[in-house]
Amino acid sequence: MNTRKKITTSIFDILRRSLRSSWFARSQETPFSRRFRLALNPLALIALLTLSACGANNESTQSNVAKIPVDLILHNGKVLTVDQNFSIHSAIAVSAGKVIVTGDESILAQYKASKIIDLNGKILMPGFNDSHTHISGNPRRYIDLGDVSSIIEMQALVRNKARNLGPGEWITGYGWSEDELTEQRKPTRYDLDDAAPNNPVVLTRAGAHSAVGSTMALALAGINSQTPDPEGGVIERDDSGNPTGIIRERHNLLLDLVPPSSEKEIIASLEVNLNQLLTKGITSITDAQKTPAQYQRWETLYEQATLPLPRSTLQFEWHDPNSIQALKQRVGAGNDNLKIGPIKIFVDGGFTGPAAYTIEPYRNQPNYRGYLNIPENELVDQINEIHNAGWQMGIHAIGDAAIELVVDTLADTLTRAPKADHRHYLNHFSMRPPEDTMKKMAAHNIHITQQANFTYTLEGRYAENLDGFRLAHNNPIRSPMDHGVVVALSSDILPIGPMVGLYAAVTRKGMSGAVYGPEEAISIDQALRAYTSIGAFINFDEDIKGTLETGKYADMIVLSEDILSIDPERILDVDVLQTFLGGELVFEKTPANNQ
Ligand SMILES: [Zn+2]
């Protein structure tokens, strides 16, 4: 009987995986893996119960076979498991937060659930794993200006904030750029005075080299037409010598006056900001720059949160190895919701400065190749020290010279002190390094988490600083993959939505529509894998998430379009309709939150 064969196959599958996981857990028992093994036991139990149910009904018809209770079934869809073979099924059963089985519509005959969702042909896939991003909590007084496109819009945000905070309270913000404003000029103190006459306001420009302050803010800082330019900075002035509100390089004169925010308000905002990621279908992140103290803030949040939060891994810089080691002693490997990730090293800058460290000079600066953030010998020492201390590394390298140096160093380190399954990786990899470098990466299992979305959003920066082959191959994906390098995709919040990265990975298009090095494009299946299971892999989480396979967390999303078959031009318009975290519906797109 076909049905029974299917049932027993899937049950054996569960048992096999469960046993394999148990073996895996026992062979490398840590508090973390032990929890995982214990969490799997209910699955093995369900599988055993099912087996005995089948055995008992050996001769009976399908209708007499007792249905196995599960929490949730989704069916009649296109379920992308993102497993090894990129298997696509139509249904999935979930219990206790984890995937029980994926398969065809016969799942409805085998399992019963209190909640059954008809996917109506829609795609269900693993939630996105943004393996390089930055999420923080903001003070109540803060306004995000990254998306404003006019001074009028900026004023509306300031007006609204002033109303919420009341008079006298400082208002801060970050991220405006006159290039992006329809007025095509910098905002002035008069613009801010208009919006919030009774509040000191200071809004920092994108890049953080200048800010605009309101008249009240300038007055509090003692800045008027008589004030000379501060050392290292410029107070911009109008024709009659009055400050316009813009202060370059020394806007700390205003920012220093802003009262510090309370831990409570930062945590509250962090909770909201993390929760928002679920609306983008992001169910896991790696935050690339945190301190042990910030880990404690996140820990407090994860213990107290009332909103659902994605699973997080935090990366630390090696400024204070003792406190990092002490944290590791205390929290071990963390848990499935929050854990310590690799150590971050900053090797060079990016192309916005521009400061990426390149082999050849920049396009328009024949004597400039960017620079290393730390002297080469210190970098080499640091890489060795961190490796020797047993930590995984996620190393920021953008320019081809930085990439080559890091890979050469890591290869030497790994030759001298081999370590199985170290999973060191490079953050960014924005330039294509020499072939030999990619070969070394493959040989030494040095992976990448890369931002395909940079090809789209940073197009202007690349065109300004790079040329020819270097420009065409910005953020190369296929070439490292063809060399056998494992590549994950992530956003670095430029922007955070995964659709931009998927779109650029597949089309290689910049914002202008220009195509860069189409030979670096990958297929949409590869891109989805890089944004889900590979992100889990480079964080040592492939046994608990990243694919919709038996025993893994049911972290999954429903898409508005069939992303596998639509015209790639439309990928940017694909919406996440629902997000499930551990089998719980944590976001649903409704007309109210439809933006
Ligand atoms: Zn970053």
Our count of domains for the chain comes to 3
454 and 355 both lie in a single domain: yes
Q: Please tell me the distance between residue 457's alpha carbon and the centre of ligand 1 in angstroms.
A: 14
The answer to whether 574 touches 561, Cβ cutoff 8 Å, is: yes
Q: Please tell me the distance between residue 285's alpha carbon and the centre of ligand 1 in angstroms.
A: 12
Which of 92, 121, 150 is the last residue before a domain boundary?
A: 121
Q: Please tell me the distance between residue 201's alpha carbon and the centre of ligand 1 in angstroms.
A: 28
The answer to whether 310 touches 496, Cβ cutoff 8 Å, is: no
Q: Please tell me the distance between residue 132's alpha carbon and the centre of ligand 1 in angstroms.
A: 6
pLDDT tens, 38-53? 344 445 545 444 444 4
- Name the token pair of 438: 């990619």
Spatial distance between the Cα atoms of 478 and 520, rounded to a whole number of angstroms: 5
Give the confidence band of 10 by pLDDT, cuts at 50, 70, 90: very low
Q: What percent of the chain has pLDDT over 70?
A: 89
Question: Any bridge partners for residue 118, and if so which?
Answer: 75
Residue 349: per-residue pLDDT: 87
Q: What percent of the chain has pLDDT over 90?
A: 84
218 and 273 both lie in a single domain: no
Q: Please tell me the distance between residue 248's alpha carbon and the centre of ligand 1 in angstroms.
A: 25
Per-chain mean pLDDT for the chain? 90
- Position 62 pLDDT exceeds 60: no
Q: Please tell me the distance between residue 133's alpha carbon and the centre of ligand 1 in angstroms.
A: 6
Segments forming the whole domain that contains residue 206: 142-255
| H, E, C per residue of 275-334 | HHHHHHCEEEEEEEEECHHHHHHHHHHHHHCCCCCCEEEEEEECCCHHHHHHHHHHHCCC
Mean pLDDT of 131-143: 95
Q: Please tell me the distance between residue 490's alpha carbon and the centre of ligand 1 in angstroms.
A: 10
Residue 591: per-residue pLDDT: 82
pLDDT tens, 184-194? 999 999 999 99
450 and 369 both lie in a single domain: yes
Q: Please tell me the distance between residue 182's alpha carbon and the centre of ligand 1 in angstroms.
A: 28
Q: Please tell me the distance between residue 406's alpha carbon and the centre of ligand 1 in angstroms.
A: 17
Angle, CA 120 vertex, CA 115 and CA 126 arms, to 5°? 70
Q: What is the CATH number of the domain that holds 32?
A: 2.30.40.10
394 and 304 both lie in a single domain: yes
Q: Please tell me the distance between residue 345's alpha carbon and the centre of ligand 1 in angstroms.
A: 11
- Position 527 pLDDT exceeds 60: yes
The answer to whether 148 touches 118, Cβ cutoff 8 Å, is: no
Q: Please tell me the distance between residue 341's alpha carbon and the centre of ligand 1 in angstroms.
A: 14
Is residue 133 a part of any domain in this protein? no
pLDDT tens, 397-410? 999 999 999 999 99
The closest alpha carbon to 594, from 572, 577, 569, belongs to 577
Is residue 132 a part of any domain in this protein? no
Question: Any bridge partners for residue 246, and if so which?
Answer: 212
Is residue 594 a part of any domain in this protein? no
Is residue 500 a part of any domain in this protein? yes
Residue 559: per-residue pLDDT: 98
Q: What is the CATH number of the domain that holds 242?
A: 3.10.310.70
Residue 2: per-residue pLDDT: 40
Residues 6 or more apart in contact with residue 581 via CB below 8 angstroms: 127, 278, 283, 308, 310, 311, 553, 555
pLDDT tens, 164-187? 999 999 999 999 988 889 999 999
Give the confidence band of 594 by pLDDT, cuts at 50, 70, 90: low
pLDDT tens, 64-78? 579 999 999 999 999
Which of 205, 220, 255 is the last residue before a domain boundary?
A: 255
108 and 230 both lie in a single domain: no
Question: Any bridge partners for residue 584, and if so which?
Answer: 581
311 and 293 both lie in a single domain: yes
Is residue 128 a part of any domain in this protein? no
Which strand ranges, in their side-by-side order, compose the sheet holding 447-450?
A: 128-133, 282-290, 311-317, 338-346, 393-397, 425-428, 447-450, 487-489
57 and 158 both lie in a single domain: no
Is residue 131 a part of any domain in this protein? no
pLDDT tens, 433-465? 999 999 999 999 999 999 999 999 999 999 999
Question: Any bridge partners for residue 311, and if so which?
Answer: 284
Q: Please tell me the distance between residue 349's alpha carbon and the centre of ligand 1 in angstroms.
A: 10
- Position 251 pLDDT exceeds 70: yes
Give the confidence band of 234 by pLDDT, cuts at 50, 70, 90: very high
173 and 273 both lie in a single domain: no
Which of 207, 229, 255 is the last residue before a domain boundary?
A: 255
Q: Please tell me the distance between residue 131's alpha carbon and the centre of ligand 1 in angstroms.
A: 10
Is residue 358 a part of any domain in this protein? yes
Rounded to two decimals, what is the model's pTM?
A: 0.83
432 and 506 both lie in a single domain: yes
Q: Please tell me the distance between residue 214's alpha carbon and the centre of ligand 1 in angstroms.
A: 31
Residue 33: per-residue pLDDT: 39
Q: Please tell me the distance between residue 353's alpha carbon and the centre of ligand 1 in angstroms.
A: 14
Q: Please tell me the distance between residue 83's alpha carbon and the centre of ligand 1 in angstroms.
A: 28
Q: What is the CATH number of the domain that holds 272?
A: 3.20.20.140
Q: Please tell me the distance between residue 346's alpha carbon and the centre of ligand 1 in angstroms.
A: 10
| H, E, C per residue of 24-77 | HHHHCCCHHHHHHHHHHHHHHHHHHHHHHHHHHCCCCCHHHCCCEEEEEEEECC
Q: Please tell me the distance between residue 396's alpha carbon and the centre of ligand 1 in angstroms.
A: 8
Identity at 341, one-letter amino acid code: G
Residue 46: per-residue pLDDT: 53
Q: Please tell me the distance between residue 205's alpha carbon and the centre of ligand 1 in angstroms.
A: 19
Q: Please tell me the distance between residue 317's alpha carbon and the centre of ligand 1 in angstroms.
A: 12
CA atoms within 13 A on the CB side of 72: 20
309 and 437 both lie in a single domain: yes
Phi, psi (5° rounding) for residue 543?
-85, -15
Beta strands in 318-402 (DSSP E): 338-346, 393-397
Sign of the alpha-carbon torsion through 465, 468, 469, 473: positive
Q: Please tell me the distance between residue 429's alpha carbon and the centre of ligand 1 in angstroms.
A: 12
463 and 428 both lie in a single domain: yes
Residue 63: per-residue pLDDT: 54
Three-state DSSP at 540 gives coil
Is residue 130 a part of any domain in this protein? no
- Position 122 pLDDT exceeds 80: yes
Give the confidence band of 209 by pLDDT, cuts at 50, 70, 90: confident
Q: Please tell me the distance between residue 344's alpha carbon and the centre of ligand 1 in angstroms.
A: 10
Q: Please tell me the distance between residue 491's alpha carbon and the centre of ligand 1 in angstroms.
A: 8
572 and 547 both lie in a single domain: yes
Q: What are the Cα distances from residue 341, in Å, to 94, 326, 543, 587? A: 28, 14, 16, 26
Q: Please tell me the distance between residue 359's alpha carbon and the centre of ligand 1 in angstroms.
A: 22
Q: Please tell me the distance between residue 492's alpha carbon and the centre of ligand 1 in angstroms.
A: 5
Q: Please tell me the distance between residue 148's alpha carbon and the centre of ligand 1 in angstroms.
A: 22
